[in-house]
A and B are shown apart, each in its own frame.
Chain A
Amino acid sequence: MRIALMADIHANRLALEACLEHARGQRMDRLVFLGDYVGYGAQPNEVMEQIMAEAARGATAVAGNHDQAVANDRDVMTPDAETAMAWTRGQLGPAARDFLSSLPLRFEDGTRLYVHASPQTYPPWIYIRESRDARRALEASRAQTVFCGHTHLPALHGITATGQLVSFTPVPSVPVPLPPHRRWLTVVGAVGQSRDGNPAAAYALLDTTTSEITHFRVPYDVQAAAASILEAGLPPALARRLREGR
């Protein structure tokens, strides 16, 4: 079975469509969304329609911090994120709000665990940026493989039974075997707001038959997505970072 894993879509319709199209070309059998469907971007309703349609067809979806922030404003966000979130709350209809508030924080699928940020308890929403973050996250879970997003930076961490950790930045399009003697944590990267200097959308594809994971980078019309942010009157920095992938 081939499972496409997509996180941090952030109301970027063009990036989501490009990734879905690419994943269909990769013969994906299942789709898993790892949270943060809204926030930052200018097309929350279009994105939510897609997510809800895929969920109705059987896709799995968990909630991210931005999805939770729609219903409550307790979490502290950066000023630009807060501005975008206030705007997003005014845009979303009741169906999308209901859908977002119904999402689970985690979903276990056999030996696989899907979460937005980390298997550790919330709050806070933890960023897995370094090996030691990954170690804590893996120690907080029993799953053989953990899949998450949140940092917007594709990464792969593996740990042995004796606690030896290997961390790796995946090379796009190169399948990486996940040997069974270790437990693995994959950060799939962001569909809708890249932060590693490459503006292309990112997602990952797990092949459970060969036990290989491939991180993909998918080009999409970044200029158009940035323009829609400016048109919506959202902070220009959010358009700029989309173009720069920062």
Chain B
Amino acid sequence: MHPETIAPGTILDGFCVGERIHRGGMASLWAASHPDIPFPLLVKAPILSEGTDPAAIVGFEMEQMILPRLSGPHVPKFIAQGTTGLQPYLVMERIPGPSLLPRLTQLPLPWAEVAALGARIAMALDDLHRQHVVHLDVKPSNLLTRPTGEMVLIDFGLSHHDELPDLMGEEFRLPYGTAPYMAPEQVLGFRKDPRSDQFALGVLMYFFVTGVRPFGDPQRLSGLKRRLWRDSVPPRLLRPDCPPWLQEIILRCLEVHPAWRYPTAAHLALALRHPDQVKLTARSEKLRQDSFTTVLRRRFADRELSIPTGKTPTQHDGDAPILAVAIDLSPEAAPTAELLRTMVAHMLPALPGARVACLNVFKLGRITLDQTVDDQGRNIHLQRLVELRHWAESLGLEEGRISFHVLQSPDSASAILHYVNANRVDHVVIGARASSLRRSLLGSVSSQVAAQAPCTVTVVRSRRLRKSDFSQEPEDQSDVPWTVG
């Protein structure tokens, strides 16, 4: 027997409905539980009454299509969907943490906290984008924090899935979204670009750093369109202690043209986590809005600027990967380091959006952890950075596309793997140790990285002739100096 409506105490297909925790214009939310499911649940149902915004039901249809296809820590886990009477509903995991909405009363926040928060949100967005979804409604009330720290994106009612029909896009002429956070291209009805979410995150970071919304909260389409030609007041003017690198990042997210933002949210997260490697441009120095004439020209003469053109990365198709190159700077590894550079130089032309992170591991003794200065008094860390830059010189990559990281750890492989996991690296390029004696004494870093990295790993090794190259006989497996592994 199905109940006609959802109310506290209702049993829906085994789910026990608890108190209603939210009633918005589009949907109602109830707490719920199930005897076989060990975590708290949420029932979401669209409001279906006379005069309801038709977007409520279409948004719910979209969420019904998208949520079951998503996975991972950055989204609520989908549990079930069904219909009771005429009322459709979704059951999902209830994230216990609060949303970012209550933080609005504490604005402005310390800039360092905003940068760290921005990086966590960017990681969540990157995960979503890799699952073919553009959220299109990133705002404080749709961002929750798991007790374990990960940011969770909720409410996919306005989202676009790259592999599913876009019911929301076809249905309505006016753009749907939340006015302060909508990207310019979204205002124009373009819903396929993951970089629209970067714009919304830029608005959020700007708001959290300055306490002011960069484009206000316009109520009409004409007001929404203003952001196509009117730039925001630079954050540093409102908040002088905001560092130039953070202004650089925020204003890059707020660029009108998606192509001028970061290629992917993972690149944005990397920038927020490595301020010293952010390439500062005129954006970082800006202390006033663009001049009246510039704005006028943008508004009337440069209209094509507002229309998205060129290739749109509707998904992570892999042309803007984060490439980590692990370089052994020791003298005996010099031939491999050179080979590694040649390999990377060959790869880069095919990957115009690639960002290269050059890694070197500075091995700490397991006991003395504080020895950062070597015998000659030189700071090894700085010396390694210099050597990494020297290694990369001939690649000719401009600042902003390449960064250098000396990781300190007693264990090279785990240091590299940690970096790869924390920064959503897409591809590791690493050299194999040349000498099998060193390999047998020290273990093979490359094989451990290749086995454990969550991404593509290219192991570079100089070609050596084996015995088998000289004869048709099967190779003698016991002949260790000639085998490679």
* CB interface residues, A 144-172, toward B, < 8 Å: 156, 158, 160, 162, 164-168, 171
Q: How far is the CA of A181 from the CA of B167 in the complex (A)?
A: 12
Chain B 135-162: CB-based contact to A (< 8 A → 1; otherwise 0): 0000000000000000000000000001
Within 8 Å of chain A (Cβ to Cβ): is B231? no
A158 and B164 contact, CB distance less than 8 A: no
Q: How far is the CA of A167 from the CA of B165 in the complex (A)?
A: 7
User: Smallest distance from the beta carbon of B337 to chain A beta carbons, Å?
Assistant: 42
Other-chain residue from B162, B163, B165 in contact with A166 (beta carbon distance below 8 A): B165
Within 8 Å of chain A (Cβ to Cβ): is B65? yes
CB closest chain-B residue, reference A131: B170
Interface range, B side: 10 to 19
Within 8 Å of chain A (Cβ to Cβ): is B256? no
Within 8 Å of chain B (Cβ to Cβ): is A177? yes
B171 and A168 contact, CB distance less than 8 A: no
Within 8 Å of chain B (Cβ to Cβ): is A174? yes
Size of A's binding interface in residues, CB under 8 A: 15
Q: How far is the CA of A168 from the CA of B57 in the complex (A)?
A: 20
Other-chain residue from B61, B64, B166 in contact with A168 (beta carbon distance below 8 A): B166
Q: How far is the CA of A176 from the CA of B65 in the complex (A)?
A: 8
User: Smallest distance from the beta carbon of B168 to chain A beta carbons, Å?
Assistant: 9
Chain B interface SS verdict (over half): helix
**Chain A residues closer than 8 Å to B64, beta-carbon distance:** 177, 179
Q: How far is the CA of A160 from the CA of B61 in the complex (A)?
A: 12
User: Smallest distance from the beta carbon of B166 to chain A beta carbons, Å?
Assistant: 7
CB closest chain-A residue, reference B65: A177
A171 and B166 contact, CB distance less than 8 A: no
* CB interface residues, A 95-113, toward B, < 8 Å: none
CB closest chain-B residue, reference A164: B171
Q: How far is the CA of A176 from the CA of B61 in the complex (A)?
A: 12
B65 and A158 contact, CB distance less than 8 A: no
CB closest chain-B residue, reference A169: B165
B164 and A166 contact, CB distance less than 8 A: no
User: Smallest distance from the beta carbon of B26 to chain A beta carbons, Å?
Assistant: 16
CB closest chain-B residue, reference A157: B165
A167 and B170 contact, CB distance less than 8 A: yes
Q: Provided the pairs A164-B170, A181-B61 are in contact, do residues A174 and B165 lie with their beta carbons within 8 angstroms?
A: no
Chain A 176-187: CB-based contact to B (< 8 A → 1; otherwise 0): 110101000000
Other-chain residue from B65, B163, B170, B171 in contact with A171 (beta carbon distance below 8 A): B163
A160 and B164 contact, CB distance less than 8 A: no
CB closest chain-B residue, reference A184: B165
Q: How far is the CA of A202 from the CA of B24 in the complex (A)?
A: 44
Q: How far is the CA of A179 from the CA of B171 in the complex (A)?
A: 14
Q: How far is the CA of A152 from the CA of B162 in the complex (A)?
A: 23
Q: Provided the pairs A177-B64, A179-B61, A179-B65 are in contact, do residues A156 and B165 lie with their beta carbons within 8 angstroms?
A: yes
User: Smallest distance from the beta carbon of A188 to chain B beta carbons, Å?
Assistant: 16
**Chain A residues closer than 8 Å to B54, beta-carbon distance:** 162
Q: How far is the CA of A162 from the CA of B172 in the complex (A)?
A: 12
A166 and B170 contact, CB distance less than 8 A: yes
B171 and A176 contact, CB distance less than 8 A: no
A174 and B163 contact, CB distance less than 8 A: yes
CB closest chain-B residue, reference A167: B170
* CB interface residues, B 23-65, toward A, < 8 Å: 54, 57, 61, 64-65
CB closest chain-A residue, reference B167: A166
Q: How far is the CA of A174 from the CA of B64 in the complex (A)?
A: 15
**Chain A residues closer than 8 Å to B61, beta-carbon distance:** 179, 181
User: Smallest distance from the beta carbon of A43 to chain B beta carbons, Å?
Assistant: 34
**Chain B residues closer than 8 Å to A158, beta-carbon distance:** 165, 167
**Chain A residues closer than 8 Å to B166, beta-carbon distance:** 166, 168
- Apart from the given pairs A176-B65, A179-B61, A179-B167, 15 other A-B contacts in the complex at a CB distance below 8 Å: A156-B165, A158-B167, A160-B171, A165-B170, A166-B167, A166-B171, A167-B165, A168-B164, A171-B162, A176-B163, A177-B64, A177-B164, A179-B64, A181-B57, A181-B61
Would you mind naming 27 contact pairs between A and B with Cβ atoms under 8 Å apart?
A156-B165, A158-B165, A158-B167, A160-B171, A162-B54, A164-B170, A164-B171, A165-B170, A166-B165, A166-B169, A166-B170, A166-B171, A167-B170, A168-B165, A171-B162, A171-B163, A174-B163, A174-B164, A176-B163, A176-B164, A176-B165, A177-B64, A177-B65, A179-B65, A179-B167, A181-B57, A181-B61
A-B pairs with the 5 shortest C-beta distances? A168-B165, A166-B170, A171-B163, A174-B163, A179-B61
